[in-house]
Amino acid sequence: MGHHFEIYKDKSGEFRVRFSYNSEVMFSTQGYSSKSSAQNAIDSIKKNGPGADVVDNS
């Protein structure tokens, strides 16, 4: 798989989303109490991500 989102349960039982590219985790989200909230996070990233600004604070 080149890149993908993954919903998983963490040790505390919360649902989280991580995004991997070429088997490297690029980011992961906060914990969500429901799987549908984690899916909503993915949907939001897909919808809003392409137009996001880049802020360079270096």
- CATH code, 37: 3.30.160.160
The CA distance from 17 to 21, in Å, is 13
Question: Structure tokens of 3?
Answer: 């890149």
Instruction: State what percent of residues in the chain have pLDDT above 90.
Output: 88
pLDDT level of residue 1 (50, 70, 90 thresholds): low
Query: Do the domain assignments include residue 16?
Result: yes
pLDDT value of residue 51: 87
Residue 37 lies in a domain: yes
Is the residue at 55 inside a domain?
no
Spatial separation of the C-alpha atoms in residues 5 and 11, rounded to whole Å: 19
The answer as to whether 54 is a domain residue is: no
Could you give the number of structural domains in the chain?
1
DSSP code, position 49:
G
- 19-30 mean pLDDT: 95
Does residue 2 surpass a pLDDT of 90? no
Q: Rounded to an integer, what distance in angstroms lies between the CA atom of residue 43 and that of residue 20?
A: 16
Q: For position 35, what pLDDT does the model report?
A: 98
What percent of the chain is predicted at pLDDT more than 70?
98
Expressed as residue numbers, the domain containing 29 is 3-46
pLDDT at 32: 98
